Structure formats: C-alpha cells, structure tokens
Amino acid sequence: MLIVQELKLIDYQKGDIKDSLNIRLDLVQSLIDQEKTEKDNQSNDEEKLIEEARKAVEKAEKTKSDKDIKNAKDKIKELPDSIKKRIFLLKE
C-alpha cells in the first residue's frame, strides 16, 4: 500500500520527531477514513439489494405468479450471507 510505503519513508527522514509523528498520525487517519468510506459504500450497496429483495418478495406474495416468485428467489440469492438473507429465506 502507498500509505505503508509513506510511513516507512518517514522513518528514514531526519527531522523533528513531533513533526514525524504528526505526519504518521495523519497518514494513519487517512487510512482509517478510507476504510470507513469503503465500508459505508458496501453497506449502501447491501441495503439497496435488501430493499430490492423485499419489494420482490412482497410482489410475489401479492401476485403469486411463478415469474414473480422466481424473481424474488433470485433477488434473495443475490443478497450477502447475513441475518436479513436468512429472514427472507424463512418467508419462502
């Protein structure tokens, strides 16, 4: 990772220890922020999939058509393994 390489570079540079530590802390915080953003994006994607599955299940329950039931099952299969997926599978 680029941040790890930057941290190693700082170790080799001469200078004020306080400045060096502040730079390292800033880089670590950047890494934490990046990971949080990635998790938030993943969570949003999962919520979208869950909502699509929920709507498909509700439609299948209402219409009871083979096409809608198959669509609902397909949407459920697209969900990540989670408690929410297990709940949908119990409704089948």
Mean local confidence (pLDDT), 54-59: 92
What's the number of domains the chain is made of?
1
Say yes or no to pLDDT of 83 above 70: no
Q: What is the pTM of this model?
A: 0.53
Q: At what angle do helices 66-78 and 17-63 cross, to 10 degrees?
A: 160
Mean local confidence (pLDDT), 1-25: 63
Higher pLDDT, 61 or 85: 61
* pLDDT level of residue 13 (50, 70, 90 thresholds): low
CA trace torsion 35, 37, 42, 44 (10° rounding): 160
Query: 21 is in which domain, residue-wise?
Result: 2-91
Higher pLDDT, 10 or 81: 81
